[in-house]
Amino acid sequence: MIDYQELLKDRNEAVQERYELVIGRIRELPKELTAEQGMPKEYRDYYAAAAELILQIDRQKSYDVYEHSMEELQANNRCLYGTLSETEYSHNYANPVYAVQQLGEDYGQLLSFLYTELYGCISYAREYRLEELTIHLELFIEIYNLFQEYERLTQEQVQKVIYYFYYDYCDVMIPYRTREMYDPSLNYCTRIVEESELADLRYLYAYGDPIGENELRTAQFLNSMSEEEIEALAFTYTDGYREGFEIARIDLSKKKYVNIRYAIGQERMVRAAIRQFRKLGLEPVIYKSAMSRLNRRQIGRSGTLSTSPNRQFDYDHRMDEGLYMDAALQERKLEVLEKSYEDLKDIISLYAGPAVIETFGETPFEPVNKPECVSLTKKQEELSIEYTQSSSRIVNTYVNREEYSFTIIAYPTLEIGDRFEEIFSEIVKVNTLDKKMYREIQSFLIDELNLAEYVIVEGDPEKNNCTKMKVMMHVMEHPEKETNFENCLADVNIPLGEVFTSPKLTGTEGILNVSEVFLHDLKYVDLKLWFEDGRITKYTCHNFETEEENIKYMKENLLNNRETLPIGEFAIGTNTTAYVMANKYDIVYKLPILIVEKMGPHFAIGDTCYSYSEENRLYNPDGKEIVAKDNEVSILRKEDISKAYYNCHTDITIPYDEIASIRSVHADGTEVELMHAGRFVLPGTEELNRAFEG
């Protein structure tokens, strides 16, 4: 294992002189920009604003949070991120609309992208990563120099500089990002968690991320809890992780590292989790969300992070790679990624998997589509899909999914409303429901579903739900010792409460409809998907005025620019307690999919739940082996792995109250109703309805 401090010292010393030169040049820009020159005023204004932001970022290198008061820290945070807020974003060059208005169509998008990348430098400065800081500031100056010869400047020149920046520095940014994800010696965040005085909330500002009410008040709330309560919160999560290995019959003792992902503000719970993981023989790996667009995909963020200062800002820049992406750069990225994994293969072999604490409760986000934002060409859409497939194959070559597990749990943020403490307590109850009771109830559902040739799911037309799906089941060779459905309890996927399978695609058909649903933090109104042989053939929603806009929105964000996706999962959620709680507090549409998927029948589009680990032998508590882990797409891995996986899995849940009927249909035509009018009617499952009565 490397010594992180020595690595950082060597990297910084190698670029120290370059950094001093480039930051010195940027300090001179305000003088240069006031002088008469060929650059038009609108660009001088842009570079003056960017230089001011960079100089603020430079000051973060030596910014010791404990030398400042809370008021000073908050002022500094506002200075860095305040102009991204919803109230000020309209006049920020990071807003493509404003940038195009001020700088024109030729350069507005490009300079908005450049300005956006500067925000990532805040974390580089706080962590004192001079190499990343230096190359980004050199990029800024190189483009600035082009604009000094404005009369001879072309759009292609600027794009070329950006393109070769990423081409040349792939081997800086991708290897470091890869190491961050697996190597515990890169411990900047771990040290914040373990070494800070958590009662002194100034520690939150050490990350360099935007810090708002969610982070501050979450930390305050956790500080108000007893040590016993904190240990219990952490144990629910860490013991679920341990149990996931046990159920999958994977030897956890062979592993040494666990990736802990959490929201800033949860450090007290995370510190307890680190202690508990160490008792299992695991050291923490904690990394922040990727800063550079080179290491990011659309709006998804992974790692330790804070609440976004403006989700429209994230959405506006989701496809910025359209400014520079081509086949040669994609190939270069893949070569560097593969070498990065090869160089780290010994460390990666000891990686056990992620342990994730999600948050929820933010005001639901409905994006605005802006023509000024970058979009991908048809060719770039194809390249993006190819890159996702190829990079996932590389990752799964080195991260053996047959020796890997995970766990996910979720808690609310303060933004969920005035009854936060009540809701938090209710979520704790939902996360710790009686496993034994649910195991027995869910076994009644599974026993019946294992007799089905197919299952019919019908929405309630009186609730304006036109769902009518026929879902084909796999035929078991030895039904006395095999099962199609997994009995899902609170281990890798907390809370408990679902039975699920990978259905047979051939013959699976119909329409799936949900009145309102949030998927990957984006809202869909009256979502409809049509299926033939288990694959999407048509789709729409009612988010925008025109059908063209609705279809484009769904293709980009739900189908990930693909023409179709298969059904990877069919499940029946049984957590009626969560459903009633969500409706009681009117937070259904603020809950994460982790909980929502347990609150009704759901379908997942994309890969199966068992992607890349189909050969693992899994068993239900009754000893029956789960055999429905493949479908007609995933089985192609045995012939051509590039055709087997889509590297996405999106759950779409139909609320109980929108369900008219779920029926199991046997080969002889016998129909057995499992749910009727949103209630469980199969004998043995009646206890699930008690939550509705309460």
| pLDDT tier for residue 179 given thresholds of 50, 70 and 90 | very high
pLDDT computed for residue 694 by the predictor: 67
Q: Which of 76-80, 156-160, 610-614, 628-632 has the lowest mean pLDDT?
A: 610-614
pLDDT digits (tens, 9 = 90+) for 84-141: 999 999 999 999 999 999 999 999 999 999 999 999 999 999 999 999 999 999 999 9
CB 537 within 8 A of CB 531: yes
Compute how many other C-beta atoms are within 10 angstroms of the C-beta atom of residue 71: 8
Question: DSSP strand E in 227-371: where?
Answer: 257-261, 283-285, 351-360
Compute how many other C-beta atoms are within 10 angstroms of the C-beta atom of residue 148: 13
pLDDT computed for residue 285 by the predictor: 97
DSSP string, 306-340: ---S-HHHHHHTTTGGGGT--HHHHHHHHHHHHHH
Instruction: In whole angstroms, give the CA distance from residue 179 to residue 51.
Output: 31
**What mean pLDDT is predicted for residues 148-164?**
95
**What mean pLDDT is predicted for residues 632-649?**
93
**What mean pLDDT is predicted for residues 294-298?**
81
pLDDT computed for residue 98 by the predictor: 98
CB 203 within 8 A of CB 267: yes
pLDDT computed for residue 379 by the predictor: 96
pLDDT at 35 over 80: no
pLDDT computed for residue 577 by the predictor: 95
pLDDT computed for residue 224 by the predictor: 96
CA dihedral 332, 335, 339, 340 (to 10 degrees): 50
- Neighbouring-strand partners of residue 297: 300
Backbone phi, then psi, for 131, in 5-degree steps?
-65, -50
pLDDT digits (tens, 9 = 90+) for 308-357: 999 999 999 999 999 999 999 999 999 999 999 999 999 999 999 999 99
Buried b (16+ CB within 10 A) or exposed e, 34-57: eeeeebeeebbebbeebbebbeeb
**What mean pLDDT is predicted for residues 607-626?**
92
Query: Which helix (H) or strand (E) element contains residue 498?
Result: strand 498-501
Q: To which residue do tokens 């869909």 refer? A: 524
pLDDT digits (tens, 9 = 90+) for 357-393: 999 988 878 889 999 999 999 999 999 999 999 999 9
| pLDDT tier for residue 3 given thresholds of 50, 70 and 90 | low
pLDDT computed for residue 401 by the predictor: 86
pLDDT digits (tens, 9 = 90+) for 433-452: 999 999 999 999 999 999 99
Mean residue pLDDT of the chain comes to 94
**What mean pLDDT is predicted for residues 475-480?**
94
**What mean pLDDT is predicted for residues 271-296?**
95
**What mean pLDDT is predicted for residues 31-35?**
85
pLDDT computed for residue 36 by the predictor: 61
pLDDT digits (tens, 9 = 90+) for 545-590: 999 999 999 999 999 899 999 999 999 999 999 999 999 999 988 8
pLDDT computed for residue 7 by the predictor: 76
197 Cβ contact list (under 8 Å, min separation 6): 203
* Most confident region among 6-20, 165-179, 410-424 by mean pLDDT: 165-179
Cα 202 to Cα 267, 306, 499, 666: the distances in Å are 13, 15, 44, 62
pLDDT digits (tens, 9 = 90+) for 654-667: 999 999 999 999 99
| pLDDT tier for residue 2 given thresholds of 50, 70 and 90 | low
